[in-house]
Amino acid sequence: MNTSVSSQPHEDYARAWVPHGHFVVAGARQGTLAGLRFAVKDVFDVAGHPTGAGNPTWLATHPVPHVTSPIVATLLAAGATLVGKTVTDELAYSIHGDNVHYGTPINTRAPDRVPGGSSSGSVAAVAAGLCDFALGTDTGGSTRVPASYCGVWGLRTTHGLLPRTAMVPLQPSFDTATWFAQDPDVFERVGKALLPASAHDFKRALLLTDVLAQADDVFHDKAENVFNAFDGARTRCTLADADTLESWRQTYVTASAYEGWQVHGKWITENRPGFGPAVAARWQTAAGISADAAAQAVQRRQEIARQVGNFLGQDGVAIIPSAAGVAPLLTAGGAEVDQVRMRTFRITCIAGLAGLPQVSLPFATDAGLPIGVSLLGPAGSDLALIRLATALWKRLQP
């Protein structure tokens, strides 16, 4: 039986843990993940320990859970030991990585830059080597972007493939449970423990030049290298023009923000929690979206999902950047952050709208800054996509 000990598992020099998250739950003595340590984003419930969702008012207005997330339970049963809960951007509504209440976790690969969010503490803990892997979530990019910013492995799972019970929602039609790892073999081991078998055989690699154009030049050579490492048919092609990608971003923002307000609007109105300025502005926008606008966005989303799904088929894998730029500096102004955010969402919204899996492979610029290149695959191909990603990455190592 698992035992819970309220203690600090180690020195948190990445400032990745929330104050109420310092505890250890031992995993099973044997299993495929025995000997590994993992942390969880503070949106996953662990019985007997509070869930704060990045906001002290949420922490104060919700009871301590009595049920553990089934994903956490599966990992514990596989032998991994849980070493506590990590910082998240408030209600997971950001890809930047700061939190006005708990601070900004340290990006050890680029200490003068943000770690990316909203799974900021989880990615910081993994990048710093404080645990072997960590659970995150990805709604609009909250695993893929921090994986890119911090130079670790990250995955957005096929929507609905992993259970999201006992997990604080943001926008359920887009929310996915995810994880990070620094070591590709650990990343794949976790995938084997959590994901169903995947028989997908990727025969076509598609380098999406229009999507790549949304990212800074430092991503281009790395994407080309991944493309050229693929054994099989390779095609440079476009998915949509720049105006279309922007309209897709707007579709994502409208549909997701409206849904987020339906989930959390009543709680926000009744409790008036203190939010950081950027998160507060997003909730204000969400509150003003009409049901008609949201319905049109949902219909458009369904059309986009069919288009992207048909484009990939069952044997295609698309190569795209994981983000639009390197991690912004901690001192970057709001306008600069918003500009990178907008371009990034033109990239990340594709998997979100289509409900597809996307694996971010870690690379670095010539200056040594972390960046990620992603593989986007058909629905349900998650485990096969991980295997392909790790094989290509290993092939490219000197």
String of b and e for 266-278 (b: at least 16 CB within 10 Å)?
Answer: eebeeeebebbeb
Q: pTM of the prediction?
A: 0.96
Mean pLDDT of 67-73: 98
Question: What confidence tens digit (pLDDT) does each residue in 361-381 have?
Answer: 999 999 999 999 999 999 999
How many Cβ atoms from other residues are within 10 Å of residue 232's Cβ? 12
In the chain, the percentage of residues whose pLDDT exceeds 90 is 95
Q: What is the pLDDT of residue 1?
A: 38
CA distance 382 to 162: 11
Within the chain, strands assigned E span 4-5, 24-25, 37-41, 81-86, 133-138, 153-156, 176-181, 204-208, 233-237, 316-321, 358-364, 370-376
Mean pLDDT of 379-390: 98
The top-level CATH class assigned to 4-194 is alpha beta
Structure tokens at 151: 């130079």
Domain ranges of the chain: 4-194, 204-396
Instruction: Please check whether the two domains, 4-194 and 204-396, share a CATH topology.
Output: yes
**Shortest CA distance to 89 belongs to which of 364, 323, 275?**
275
- Which of the 8 DSSP states describes residue 102? T
CA distance 27 to 88: 24
Angle at 127 between CA 385 and CA 326, to 5 degrees: 75
- The residues assigned a catalytic role are 41, 118, 142
Question: What confidence tens digit (pLDDT) does each residue in 126-147 have?
Answer: 999 999 999 999 999 999 999 9
Mean pLDDT of 308-336: 97
Mean pLDDT of 87-111: 98
- Residue 5 pLDDT greater than 90, yes or no: no
CA distance 300 to 364: 36
Question: What confidence tens digit (pLDDT) does each residue in 182-209 have?
Answer: 999 999 999 999 999 998 999 999 999 9
Q: What mean pLDDT value characterizes the chain?
A: 96
Q: What would be the CATH architecture of the domain defined by 204-396?
A: Alpha-Beta Complex (3.90)
Angle at 292 between CA 291 and CA 296, to 5 degrees: 115
Residue matched to tokens 């250890």: 24
Mean pLDDT of 9-36: 94
In the chain, the percentage of residues whose pLDDT exceeds 70 is 97
Q: What is the pLDDT of residue 240?
A: 86
Structure tokens at 112: 């003068």
CA distance 35 to 125: 17
Q: What is the pLDDT of residue 242?
A: 77
Mean pLDDT of 210-224: 98
